[in-house]
Structure 1
Amino acid sequence: MLSAQARIVRIEITSVQSPTFEGKTFGSVGAYEKLRGRAYGEVDPSLPQNALITDLALAPRNARGMVEYSMDIYLLKPLNLGQGNHKLFLEVNNRGSKLFGGFNNSSGGNDPTTAAQASEGFLMNQGYTLAWNGWDMTAASSNNNLTINVPVATNPDGSPITGPAYEYISFENTTTQTFNLAYPTAALNPAQATLTVRQRLNDAPTPVPTSGWEFVNERTIRLLPAGTAFQQSAIYELAYTAKNPVVAGLGFAATRDFVSFLRYAKADDLGQPNPLADDVRYTFSYALSQPARYLNDFQTLGFNADEQGRRVLDGIENWLGGGSGIGLNFRFAQPSRTERNRQNHLYPEALFPFAYPALTDPLTGQTAGRSARCAASGTCPKVLEINSANEYWVKAASLLHTDLGGNDLPDPENVRFYLVSGAQHGTGNASSSGICQQGQNPTNAEPALRALFVALDQWVTQGTAPPKSQVPRRSAGTAAFAVAQPGALTGTVPQANLGWPSIPGVTYTGLITTRYQLDFGPFLSQRILTKYLPSITGRPVYPNFVSKVDADGNEVAGIRLPIVAAPLATTTGWALRRAGYGENEGCEAAGQYLPFPLTPTDRAATRDPRRSVQERYRTHAGYVAAVTKVVKQLVKQRFLLEEDAQKYILEAEASAVLK
C-alpha cells in the first residue's frame, strides 16, 4: 500500500467526460476532459499546523488517531497533459459555486460542458488544469455545488457542546415568515434566547416579547401569531444557545491537502493514481469575494505549508476580499456570512491582522501579520490583492496596505495591491436599481483581472515583477479618511474631504463602514457575542479610507479602466437604499452609475456641475479616440491584454455615443 501525501488518503473519480466541451480543441493544447469525484482526507491533530484548527481536539478520531473529512472534487484537464502548461489553476469556490466564467472568457456555469460554455477559454488556450474542491460546509448540495463533510465536535465525555450563537436576520420583502438557524438550538424555550428588532441600523434594538415568536423546531424560528411575516428590511437579531458545532476549520486543511496531493503525490493509499501525477510544476489560485477572504485567513493561519512543510500555492490572485477574513476557524462558524455597513457586524470576519507584515495592534497589544507563518516556514506565495471601490467603502480594504494608524506601509516583497477604480462588488446593471436609489455600476473588472493573472504567472515562473501597486495612499494625497460617528455603527467620509460634487438627484451621506476592535474571547473556540448586544458603538476603531474623487466624482487612485478614464458617467463603489428598504442606509455590495448630461443645454437645465458628454468629446470620433488612448496606456502598464484592449475600442466604435 502506498502512503498518500498531504493526507488525502483516497480519491474516487465517479465520472469522466473525455473529451468534454463537445470535443472542442484549444490551440496547441487540444481537447480537455472533465473528472468529477470525491476525496477523503484525514489530519493528524498532534501536528502544530493542524492543532490550531478550532475544536479539532474534540472531533472523533479513527483507529489511527486521525480526524477524517470528505469533499467533492472537480477537474478540467488537458486530455494530453504533455500538451498542457503543467500549471494548476485552483478556483476556490464561492458558496459551492464556480465563478470563473467571466475571468475565463467563457459562460462558465457550475458544470461547464458544451463548446459554447467553454467559449474563448482563456485558461484552456494556455494549457492550465483547472481544479475545484469543497471546503464550505454550509454550501448547498444542489446545482452541482461543491461541498465538504466535516465532523461534529463533542465534549470529552461524548455529550453535546453548547455555547452562544448569533443570527442577523433581515429580509427585503413582506412575505417571509420563517428563518432557518445555522446551528440547532439547545433549548426550545424562547425565554432562554433573545430576539430583537430595529428599523434602522443606528436605532436601539427593541426586544420581541417571548409571546411574539417561537422555535418551530430546533433549526427554525417564526414570529407569532403563525403567518406573521418579518418586517421588510427590518433588522432582527437572535442571540441563543446553540449545540453541535462542526469542525469548520477543516475546510482550510481540505484545500491544503487537495492541492498538495495533486502537486506532489503519485497515488492515494489504495493505489488510485493521482490524475495529475508528475505534471504540476506551478500552482495558482483565483478567488472572488467570499473565497478571497478565505484565502486571506488561509495564509494567516499557515495553511500554505502542507504537512511535509512544502509550499502549497505559488501564486494567489484575490479579487474582492477586502481587508477581511472569513470567520471559518471558530466554534459555530458561519462562513456564508459577510459583514458590510448594514449587515452582520457581530461575526468574526474583520479581525486583526489585516495587513501582511507583522504589526503590533495598539488597541490589543497583539502582534501578527498575514505573512508571519509562511515567512517562518519559507512557504509564502506571490499575492495580488485586487479590490473594487466597494471593498474600500464597506470592507475597510485600506487596512490591507496601512498600519493600524492609517499610515501607508511599503509593499511586502511578495504582495501587490490594486484598486479597480469606481467599481462595485461585481458587475452591476446600470438600468436596474433594485433596492438602491440609482442604477447600479456596470464596471467590468475581468479584463484587468486577466492581465494581472498573466503578470502573476510571469512573477512566479519567470521572476518578472508585476505592475506597481495602484491604491489610494495617504502619502500621495489620494486618501479620504473615514470619520467615526458617536453613537453610530458606521462612519462618514465628509463630502469636502472626498471631493464629491453635488450631483442633482443624488444623495451623498458619506456612509462608510467603521472597523471596530471587537473581542470574541481569549480562545478561537469561543465567541462572546452577547457582550456586544444591543450595541457595539463606543468600541475603539481602526482608521480606514477610500480614494478621493475628481470633479466628476470618479476615483483618482487605482486602475482606471475606460469607463472611468474616458467616462460617460460617474461610477461609485457605494450606494444608498431607497425608501421602504432602510432609506439612505448602505446598499451593501452595490455601486452607482450616474450618467453625465448629454449636451451643454441638458447640463444647464439640471445645473449639473459635471461637463456634458458633448463638451468632453465633441464627436463620436473624439470619444473613440479617448477610449483608444486610455486602453493603449493600460496595455503599456500591463493592466490590459492586447486582445481585451481591442474589444474596448471596437465597443466604442460600435456605440451610439454622439452619433
Structure 2
Amino acid sequence: MLLSSYMRTRLLFSLILLIGFSYPTLARIIRIEITSVQSPTFEGKIFGRIGAYEKLRGKAYGELDPNSSQNLLIPDIQLAPRNAKGMVEYAMDIYILKPINLAIGNHKLFLEINNRGGKLFGGFNKSNGGNDPTTAAQAGEGFLMNMGYTLAWNGWDCSAAPSNNNLTITVPIARNADGSSITGPSYEYISFDNATSLTYSLAYPTATMDQSKATLTVRDRLGDTPSRVSSEGWEYASDKTIRLIPAGTPFRQSAIYEFTYTAKDPVVAGIGFAATRDFVSFLRYAKADDFGNANPLAGDIRYTFSYSLSQPARYVNDFQTLGFNTDEQNRRVLDGIENWLGGASSIALNYRFSQPSRTERNRQNHLYPEGVFPFAYPIMTDPLSGKTAGRLARCTASNTCPKVFEINSSNEYWVKAASLLHTDSRGNDLPDPDNVRFYLISGAQHGTGNETSRGTCQQFQNSTNGESALRALFIALDDWVTKGIAPPASKVPRKSDGTAVIALPQPGSQTGVVPQAALGWPTIPGVTYTGLITTRYLLNFGPSLDQGILTTFPTSVANRPSYVNFVSKVDKDGNEIAGIRLPPVAVPIATTTGWALRRAEYGENDGCEGAGQNIPFKATKAERLLANDPRLSLQERYQTHEGYVDAVRKSVHMLIDQRFILDEDGQQYIKAAQASSVLR
C-alpha cells in the first residue's frame, strides 16, 4: 500500500523522535580516548604471515540507564549520581594489542579479563608477559599473535590498585536520596603470614569511630573458638584503618582475626559487569563513539572470546548468571569463554559494600557471598534455599548463550567445591549442557607452584603446569564456535563412573573431610593426611541477598545446611584418576596434589589455600624400602632413563590424539624428559 506524502512525513518525524529520545537511554560506551599508540610494538617483531602488532592504550567512558531492566540488577545503581541525561557514568582503562594490518588478522577478539587489574598475557604466549608487554622477549612465542587475534583488556574491578600499569575503573559512590551516606554491615577477614604487620586497611570507611559498634575477634586455627579482642586491645588509627594497641603491637603471625563494623559510602561496584559488556559490544558492533572518535576495530571483529584465570573466572561466572552476555540491543557479547581456576564460585562484586578481591578457600574468607546458588549451568531448584536458577537462565531467554569451557585444577575441587559446576546440590551428576564442557587438570594446584619451595606449607609445592592444555582447549573452543567442530568430551570426576569421592561435612566446622580409605590415599612417611576440604554451606546474609544488599553477616557456619561436593579418587601413588592427566601425572616422578596443609609456625594443619604438594618418589627400591614408602621407586617403574622418556612419549602422543595438548607443547614435554636427571 502506498503512503501519502503527509503520512510519510509523519512516519519519518516519528522515527526521528524515536531515535532521538530512545537511543541515548541505551547503555553504551559514549567516548573512547586513545592516549598512546605504539606502532609497531614488541620492537617490530613479525608474527608469521600476520606481521607486526601495535599497542593502543587509553580510556573508555560509559553511561548506564539506571532504569533499564538489565542494569537494575546492579545494586544501588538507582542511588548513584546521574548526569543531565539521567544516566550513571563510569570510566575505565582500556588496552588493545592488534595487528597493524587488521585485514590479515583473523578477525577474532581475545578478551582477557584482568586479574585484580593485572594482565595474564604470559601464559598463553609462553613469555614473562609483564603488565605492559612491550619488548620482543615479552611477546614470547606469540601463540595468539601468530594466529592473528586482537587482544583487549578493560578495567572492571573497582578495588584494583591504580599502579604498575593495572587496569582500573572509576565508579560512583551511592548515596541516600537526601544525599546522606549509606551505611550498612561490613566484614573483614584478616590474617598475616608474618609477625611484622602493624595496621590493617578496611575496604570501606567506618560510619562511626565508636568501638562499641564494632567487634574484633582472634583465633590461631580455623577450628578454634574465636575470642573477642577488648576495646583496650585495638583502636581505629583512621576511619579506614585499625591497629592493635599499645601502638606498635603486631598482629599475631597467621592468626585469624575477624572484624565486623558499620561501613559507609559503598561504591556501585556491579557497574564492572556492564563495563565489560559495553566495551566488547562497542568493539564488535560500533563504528565510532558519540563524539566521532573511530572504533579502532570497526568492522573487523567477527567472533569474540574471553579467557580468565582465578578471580576473573569467578567474575565471568556471574557475568553469565546475571545476563551481561547480552547487550542492550539483545546481541551476544562473547561467543566463547575459557574459564580457568574459577571453580563453582561467584565473585563478591554485585553487592553493596562489595569486596571483589576476596576469595574463599579452606582457611580464608568463608563468610563472604562467594559460594551462593546457582553453582551449575542448567536451571534447577535448590532444595536448601528453595530458589530456582541456573547460569544459563538469562542467556537462554535471550538466545545469547556462549560456548563455555570450565577448566579447573585439583585445588578448585578441594578448596572451592568445583564439583558443584557439574552436579546438582545433592552431588548427583548432571548431563553436560549443549554449550558447556568441563575439564579437570589432574593433580594441579591453583596455578604453578615452585617445587623447591614450601612457602607456608608442610611439603614442597606442585609445579604441574596446565597451560599446555589451556592452549589446546582454546583452539578446540575456537573450532567449536567458528566451525561447529565438537570439542573433546568433558573430563571430570563423576559419581556415575566411580571416580568421585564424596566429602563429608563436619558439624560445627567450617570445612569437611574426605576419608582416606575412600579416596585411596597411601600412607606416605612424613606426609600428614587429614582429608581437609572446603564445604559449601547455605549462609544467612539477610532477606535482601537477591537484591545485593547484605543486611547481616553470618558469624559461623555452625548448624547451617551444606551442599554435597566431591573430589577425584586417587591411584596407589596418590595421583588423581579423573581428568586430563598431563605427563607429570600420567608418567609421574612424584605424588602431586591440589591440596596442602600449613606448617607449624603458620597455623599447623590448617589448609594451605591455593597450594598443592610435590612428594617425590624414591630413586631405587632399596631407598623406598628403607623409608617404608609404599609407592614404587623410579627404578621399579621405568628401569632406565630411556624407559622414562619412552613412557612420556607415549603419554604425549595419546594427549595429542585426544586434542588435550598441541604437538609443539608435546615435543617440549619429551625434550624436558630427555634433559631430566631421572634415572641418570
- Cα separation, 2, equivalents of 1:106 and 1:599: 37
User: Of 168, 175, 198, which residue of structure 2 is paired with 1:177?
Assistant: 198
Q: Verify: 1:221 aligned to 2:242, yes or no.
A: yes
- Cα separation, 1, equivalents of 2:134 and 2:649: 36
Q: Are the equivalent residues in 1 in contact too, given 2:508–2:557 (CA < 8 A)?
A: no
Q: Are the equivalent residues in 2 in contact too, given 1:346–1:529 (CA < 8 A)?
A: no
User: Which residue identity does 1:446 align to in structure 2?
Assistant: E
Structure 1 counterpart of 2:625: 604
Deviation at 1:94, TM superposition (A): 0.1
Structure 1 counterpart of 2:11: none
Q: Verify: 1:570 aligned to 2:591, yes or no.
A: yes
- Cα separation, 2, equivalents of 1:559 and 1:167: 37
Q: Verify: 1:17 aligned to 2:42, yes or no.
A: no
Superposition map of 1:55-134 within 5 A: 55-134=76-155
Q: Verify: 1:527 aligned to 2:570, yes or no.
A: no
Structure 2 counterpart of 1:518: 539
Superposition map of 1:342-361 within 5 A: 342-361=363-382
Q: Verify: 1:549 aligned to 2:566, yes or no.
A: no
Q: Are the equivalent residues in 1 in contact too, given 2:27–2:65 (CA < 8 A)?
A: no
- Cα separation, 1, equivalents of 2:559 and 2:476: 44
Segments ≥4 residues shifted beyond 3 Å: 1-6
SS in 2 for 1:522: coil
TM-score (norm 1): 0.99
User: Of 268, 286, 292, which residue of structure 2 is paired with 1:247?
Assistant: 268
- Cα separation, 2, equivalents of 1:256 and 1:486: 42
- Cα separation, 2, equivalents of 1:640 and 1:505: 35
Deviation at 1:654, TM superposition (A): 1.2
Rg: which structure is higher?
2
Deviation at 1:7, TM superposition (A): 0.8
1:364-414 Cα shifts (integer Å, max 9, x gaps): 110000010000000000000000000000000000000111000000000
Q: Verify: 1:152 aligned to 2:173, yes or no.
A: yes
Q: Verify: 1:292 aligned to 2:277, yes or no.
A: no
1:50-82 Cα shifts (integer Å, max 9, x gaps): 111000010011111110000000000000000
User: Which residue identity does 2:496 align to in structure 1?
Assistant: S
Q: Verify: 1:508 aligned to 2:500, yes or no.
A: no
SS in 2 for 1:621: helix
Q: Verify: 1:463 aligned to 2:484, yes or no.
A: yes
Deviation at 1:519, TM superposition (A): 2.5
Instruction: Give the number of equivalent residue pairs.
Output: 657
Structure 1 counterpart of 2:330: 309
- Cα separation, 2, equivalents of 1:118 and 1:72: 21
Structure 1 counterpart of 2:605: 584
User: Which structure 1 residue ranges, 5 or more long, are not aligned?
Assistant: none
- Cα separation, 2, equivalents of 1:528 and 1:68: 27
Q: Are the equivalent residues in 1 in contact too, given 2:184–2:551 (CA < 8 A)?
A: no
Deviation at 1:106, TM superposition (A): 2.1
Q: Are the equivalent residues in 2 in contact too, given 1:384–1:417 (CA < 8 A)?
A: yes
Q: Are the equivalent residues in 2 in contact too, given 1:489–1:537 (CA < 8 A)?
A: yes
Aligned-pair identity in percent equals: 72
User: Which residue identity does 2:204 align to in structure 1?
Assistant: Y
- Cα separation, 2, equivalents of 1:571 and 1:339: 22
TM-score (norm 2): 0.96
User: Of 421, 443, 458, which residue of structure 2 is paired with 1:437?
Assistant: 458
1:84-138 Cα shifts (integer Å, max 9, x gaps): 0000000000000001311222221100000011021000000000000000000
Deviation at 1:47, TM superposition (A): 1.1
SS in 1 for 2:49: coil
- Cα separation, 2, equivalents of 1:428 and 1:483: 28
User: Which residue identity does 1:529 align to in structure 2?
Assistant: T
User: Which residue identity does 1:525 align to in structure 2?
Assistant: G
Deviation at 1:584, TM superposition (A): 0.4
- Mean Cα displacement is larger for which, 453-462 or 102-111? 102-111
Superposition map of 1:367-378 within 5 A: 367-378=388-399
User: Of 456, 459, 468, which residue of structure 2 is paired with 1:447?
Assistant: 468
User: Which residue identity does 2:508 align to in structure 1?
Assistant: G
Structure 1 counterpart of 2:670: 649
Instruction: Return closer, same or farther for 1:522/1:529 CA change in 2, 3 Å cut-off.
Output: closer
Deviation at 1:529, TM superposition (A): 3.4
Q: Verify: 1:422 aligned to 2:450, yes or no.
A: no
User: Of 362, 379, 385, which residue of structure 1 is paired with 2:400?
Assistant: 379
Deviation at 1:528, TM superposition (A): 3.5
Structure 2 counterpart of 1:256: 277
- Cα separation, 1, equivalents of 2:559 and 2:607: 20
- Cα separation, 1, equivalents of 2:659 and 2:27: 36
Deviation at 1:359, TM superposition (A): 1.0
User: Which residue identity does 2:604 align to in structure 1?
Assistant: E
User: Which residue identity does 1:188 align to in structure 2?
Assistant: M
1:243-279 Cα shifts (integer Å, max 9, x gaps): 0000000000000000000000000000000000000
User: Which residue identity does 1:342 align to in structure 2?
Assistant: R
Q: Are the equivalent residues in 2 in contact too, given 1:361–1:404 (CA < 8 A)?
A: yes
SS in 2 for 1:412: coil
Q: Verify: 1:400 aligned to 2:421, yes or no.
A: yes
Deviation at 1:6, TM superposition (A): 5.2
SS in 2 for 1:123: helix
User: Which structure 2 residue ranges, 5 or more long, are not aligned?
Assistant: 1-18
Instruction: Return closer, same or farther for 1:529/1:199 CA change in 2, 3 Å cut-off.
Output: farther
- Cα separation, 1, equivalents of 2:64 and 2:489: 39
Superposition map of 1:159-170 within 5 A: 159-170=180-191
- Cα separation, 2, equivalents of 1:418 and 1:622: 29
- Mean Cα displacement is larger for which, 520-529 or 581-590? 520-529
- Cα separation, 2, equivalents of 1:484 and 1:7: 46
User: Of 158, 167, 172, which residue of structure 2 is paired with 1:137?
Assistant: 158
Structural RMSD (CA): 1.1
- Cα separation, 2, equivalents of 1:362 and 1:397: 19
- Cα separation, 1, equivalents of 2:577 and 2:278: 42
- Cα separation, 2, equivalents of 1:361 and 1:347: 20
Structure 1 counterpart of 2:5: none
SS in 2 for 1:409: coil
